[in-house]
A and B are shown apart, each in its own frame.
Chain A
Amino acid sequence: MTATQAPGKSVGAPISRVEGHLKVRGAATYAYEHRLDEPAYLHPLQSTIANGRVAKIDASRAEAEPGVVAVLTHENAPKLEAVGDAELEILQNGEVGFRGQFIGAVIADTFEAARYAAGLVEIEYEERETDADFRPDRDDLYTPEQLNAGFEPDTSVGDVDGALASAAVKFDATYTTPREHNNPMEPHSSIAVWDEGELTLYESTQGVYWTQNTIAPLFGLDAEKVHVISPHVGGGFGSKGLPHANVVLAALAAMLVEGRPVKFALTRHMMFSVAGYRTPTIQRIRLGADAEGKLSAICNDVVEQTSKIKEFAEQTGTSARMMYDSSNIQTTHLLAALDVAVPSWLRAPGEAPGMFALESAMDEMAIECDLDPVEFRIMNEPEKDLESGLPFSSRGLVACLREGAERFGWDGRNPTPRSERDGRWLVGTGVASSVYPVFSMGGNAATIRADSDGKYVVEIGAADIGTGTWTTLGQIAADELGVSFEDVEMKIGDTKFPNASGAGGSSGITSWGSTLVEAARSLREKIEAEHGGNIPDEGVEASAKMPKNPHRKEYAMYAFGAHFVEARVDEDTGEVRVPRMTSVFAAGRIINAKTARSQFMGGMVMGLSAALHEESVLDTRFGHVVNHDFAEYHIPTNADVGELDISWIEEDDPYVNPMGSKGIGEIGIVGSAAAVANAVYHATGTRVRELPITPDKLIS
């Protein structure tokens, strides 16, 4: 739909993305596609050991190849500033901390020449023993100082052990989630160009300023000397949030060929070693309840993995702290630091694996208590956020569960496993809740210019990673300016526009949108106060920073959702199919009904994928992911995705931000894997607590 929206009425409308015509015609310029004169091409050298050091590099054969411009190794690499980030400080010595780590690069006139010559570089290693074995019984597990996003690693309210001891119904089980790789369609790509001490990066990034602020200090530059350009991004799912070593490698290589642009796109194989991934988790969930099914104890003890060279601690247990009512709640996190690549963000870090375990356990506990799993959740609904003691700004979980049950046809469900079949298919249904915090990120500013012809130009260094930002920010600005959507032109994805946070933690619209509202109000006031309500011939502009939200100290802010899934399991083969999924979300005001639906859908399918398919298999002998391509690392095909019924409830939340919106990029993935697992249990009577649910786990 592209029909003109009435002034002030853009938000909520299902407006088609404004750059869609460019994308379907192949005319949207992605990072690798920017046309620059005489580009050189980079192919990296990656370590084939997981721990040790490069003892010798002989690049003479590579350097003699036609078309080879230079070979970059730790022996000739420009010096980087020590910023305390061993993932990014590459080629400063010969040390190797994980298999696949960059230890050099060949730069050539063509991609083919660079790749071929890379194979001619002879590398000798001094290898140390590899320790990549992720087990919960290791004696070197440790508690990190803090978790991702600043959460406390260990929390305790009340007396969990005492409550469990006296509980009428007790539950104790361990769930595991595997290592998963983000794998956006567009691999990480860069073009790096140096010009008189300034670096320009054409990047595929979730935040141009996040890239600028990370890269500039490494090269000893003031931030404004690094110019980042990223108008279109083919997905990120967190892996393009903070820059990885590929950006540094491209920038180092470009220093060797001063003035010449260096192009570097990761191959799909490389996406499994250097671009971040979701840590595997082992979660022991303990629940206690009274005879009526009222929870008295909730506990999630998490063990997860990080890299020896850089810590990343996923906040896996945090949703157990606020999801359900209990006087006694405990969560702990332990890390195993191994000779492996550095884990990072993957869509809903923390909530996605954490809610698989908690929502599977809630299903098991409902059965233990002989309660319907929807009603069990509703009867354990908390009145406030138990961790902070604050009231919720809005909490739509019960509404989502009720609405979802209605749409899905949950009533009358026979709770007995294996109670329904269709030929050889065993048919089951499952439910799970979803949650995601309303994050807001600092450091945002925007400029809006009004021209005398009634057109507005809005500038902010925000990112559109396929989510619809180009469109949704225009809607927010148009409404606040009181003009029609077509009169607003957005400018984003470039550090020449005002400072902005990145697309991460589903925080984009809250952070950027709040800033635009402030800037639009400033502009309207300026036009009113200084120009008598009319835009002067020379135009007028106003800038603003993101205002502080005073309600953040008064309310706990979350989006909620509920997933309902039908699963079919072939009795003979263990094949699982999911013909339908109903999800209902309570996510504040929906800015764009069309792009929002796509965000929810993408999350739901990614959860389905986590439930049934995704698993990066690490061979501990070698230290790398062996199923590192799309033939072996499975994601759903169209044939694996059935009918998706996606909706949301009307939710008026005046506290979260001026738009009343909550982030929606991640909530779709949270809980959806548990809903599938719960449906598989209902179909088969077999409880799979280790993702993914592949046929081998159901065959007998």
Chain B
Amino acid sequence: MKPYRYERAEDISGAISALADEPEGAFLGGGTNIVDLMKLGVSTPDVLVDVRRLMSDDIEETEDGGVRIGAAVPNSDLAADPTIRTRYPALSEALLSGASGQLRNMATTGGNFLQRTRCVYFQDTTTPCNKREPGSGCSALDGYNKNHAILGSSEHCVATHPSDMAVAMAALDAFVVTHGPNGERRIPIEELHRLPGDEPERDTILEHGELITAVELPPMGFSSNSKYRKVRERASYAFALVSVAAAMDVEDGVVRDVRVALGGVAHKPWRATKVEEALRGEPVSEENFRAAAEIELSEAEPLSENAYKVPLARNVMVRTLSDLSGEGR
């Protein structure tokens, strides 16, 4: 572990300027991921600027009927919030399906989005990895890739994004609010994370020194009819093989509107827009859900060890949508 400096800033702008002259510096939130990566030698920042105390840890309802979540809100608090539990149950369920109680107490809402992949080669500095060391090669492509991506990957990287929370946020049309050297901006979750392309070292579109300060959940009438279903190899404390966050507005047996996002299948939370388009205005039925899921997955490109994720993602989508529509067994 490389020696590093620990700093605190007076306010958000101070934190941003503290990193402006530190190309190898990083923000520290809950530290549940970056500290592990520092111990592994994967992250080697010169300085950590602690931002946890600078940001809001409030969850507030907004005038338009949405919710604004301070970036410092711990995952455990967000999961337990009565408004979130009743109006955005998929988000609460996603948070509770992730990590452990101890980690959720430490992890922040803003930091959760910025978790790095758990690809075993990324986490091991003795093996090639384009994400960790651009140009060194992708060890997973022809290696242990059982847990890797089936959608949107590239020859340079087949890693998946590990967050559960971000998948629910993607399905709920959330935005992150950021402050950076170039001011403030509001980014839809769908655009926050990148596909790997030929720059797998970049997980998100955030610039160096750009800080997530809040998350906004827009009003969505049917978000109360949402859920998160995570499939994993043990009952607790494991990353998703595949997960689905979905919300559905059903009236008279017809899908008026629907949101679907997948976890564990891509370099980013995968918004299943083809499923949504296929289902809007269509009658609720398991056959329709299956057909829509298969459209989304028709572009899947499984690797040597993860072909199972295609039927798994299909089945979990069908099951989750059926449950939300009231058609589930």
Query: Given A572-B315, A573-B316, does the pair A619, B308 have CB atoms closer than 8 Å?
Result: no
Chain A residues lying within 8 Å of B235, measured Cβ to Cβ, are 577, 637, 639-640
Decide if B23 is an interface residue (CB 8 Å cutoff).
no
Judged by a CB distance under 8 angstroms, whether A24 is at the interface is: no
> How many Å from the CB of B149 to the closest CB on chain A?
15
Q: Out of A115, A572, A636, A640, which one reaches B1, CB within 8 Å? A: A115
A contact residues around B236 at 8 Å (CB): 637-640
Task: List the B residue with the shortest CB-CB distance to A641.
Answer: B235
Interface pair B144/A619, CB less than 8 Å apart: yes
User: Are the CB atoms of A699 and B308 closer together than 8 Å?
Assistant: yes
Q: Is there an interface contact between B312 and A574, defined as CB atoms closer than 8 Å?
A: yes
Q: Can you list, as one digit per residue, whether each of A497-526 has a CB less than 8 Å from chain B (1) or not (0)?
A: 000000000000000000000000000000
The answer to whether B308 and A696 touch across the interface, beta carbons within 8 angstroms, is yes
B contact residues around A626 at 8 Å (CB): 120-121, 124, 127, 143-144
Q: What's the nearest-Cβ distance from chain A to residue B312, in Å?
A: 5
Max count, chain A CB within 10 A of own CB: residue among B2, B142, B234: B234
Q: Does A612 contact B (CB under 8 A)?
A: yes
Residues B234 and A640 in contact, CB atoms below 8 Å apart? yes
Residue-by-residue, is B298-319 near A (CB-CB < 8 Å gives 1, otherwise 0)?
0000000010100110011011
Chain B hits for A577, CB < 8 A:
235
A115 contact set on B, CB distance < 8 A: 1
- The prevalent SS among residues of B at the interface is loop
Q: Pick the residue among B41, B146, B237, B312 that contacts A573 (CB under 8 A).
A: B312
Q: Which of A218-226, A252-260, A276-284, A627-635 contacts B (4 or more CB under 8 A)?
A: A627-635
* B27 touches A (CB below 8 Å): no
Chain A's closest residue to B147 (CB) is A632
The answer to whether B118 and A637 have CB atoms under 8 Å apart is no
Query: A622: CB under 8 A from chain B?
Result: yes
- Interchain Cβ contacts within 8 Å, total number: 88
The residue in chain A whose Cβ has the minimal distance to the Cβ of B124 is A626
| A619 near B233: Cβ-Cβ < 8 Å | no
Complex-state Cα separation, A695 to B307, whole angstroms: 12
- Main SS class of interface, A: loop
- Chain B: how many interface residues by the 8 Å CB criterion? 35
The interface bits of chain B over 189-233 (1 if a CB of A lies within 8 angstroms of the residue's CB, else 0) are 000000000000000000000000000000000000000000111
C-beta contact mask, A399-443 vs B, less than 8 Å → 1, else 0?
000000000000000000000000110000000000000000000
Interface size on A, residues (CB 8 A): 36
Contact A573 B233, CB 8 Å, known A619-B143, A700-B311: no
Q: Which A residues touch B308, using CB under 8 A?
A: 574, 695-696, 699
Q: Is the CB of B316 within 8 A of A572?
A: yes
Taking CB atoms and an 8 Å cut-off, the chain A residues in 28-86 that contact chain B are 48
Roughly how many angstroms separate A638 CA and B235 CA in the complex, as a whole number?
A: 9
A694 within 8 A of B: yes
Query: Which residues of chain A (671-700) have a CB below 8 Å from chain B?
Result: 694-696, 699-700
Measured in the bound complex, the distance between the Cα atoms of B235 and A637 in whole Å is 7
Asked if residues B231 and A695 are in contact (CB atoms below 8 Å), the reply is yes
Q: Is residue B102 within 8 Å, beta carbon to beta carbon, of the partner chain?
A: no
Query: A606-630 interface mask toward B, CB cutoff 8 Å, 1 = contact, 0 = none?
Result: 0000001100010101101011110
Question: Would you call B127 and A699 a contact (CB within 8 A)?
Answer: no
In the assembled complex, A119 has its CB within 8 A of some CB on chain B:
yes
| Chain A nearest CB, measured from B131 CB (Å) | 15
Chain A CB count within 10 A is highest, among B143, B236, B237, B319, for B237
Contact B144 A573 (CB under 8 A): no
Q: Please determine whether B41 and A119 come into contact, CB atoms closer than 8 angstroms.
A: yes
Assess whether B231 is in contact with A575, with CB atoms less than 8 Å apart: yes
Known: A424-B329, A619-B144. A613 touches B233 (CB 8 A): yes
B312 partner residues in chain A, CB cutoff 8 A: 573-574, 695-696, 699
Provide a sorted-by-A list of 14 A–B residue pairs whose CB atoms are within 8 angstroms.
A423-B329, A572-B318, A573-B231, A575-B231, A577-B235, A617-B144, A619-B143, A626-B120, A626-B124, A631-B239, A636-B234, A694-B233, A695-B231, A696-B146
Query: Which residues of B line the A interface, CB within 8 A?
Result: 1-3, 41, 118, 120-121, 123-124, 126-127, 139, 142-144, 146, 231-239, 241, 306, 308, 311-312, 315-316, 318-319, 329
For the complex of A and B, 10 pairs with smallest distance between CB atoms: A696-B308, A639-B235, A572-B315, A639-B236, A626-B120, A637-B236, A573-B231, A48-B126, A640-B235, A699-B308
> With A423-B329, A640-B234, A699-B312 given, can you name 11 additional A-B contacts, CB distance below 8 Å?
A573-B315, A573-B316, A575-B231, A617-B144, A622-B126, A626-B121, A626-B144, A627-B144, A632-B118, A634-B234, A639-B236
A residues whose Cβ falls under 8 Å from a Cβ of B: 48, 112, 115-116, 119, 423-424, 572-575, 577, 612-613, 617, 619, 621-622, 624, 626-629, 631-632, 634, 636-640, 694-696, 699-700
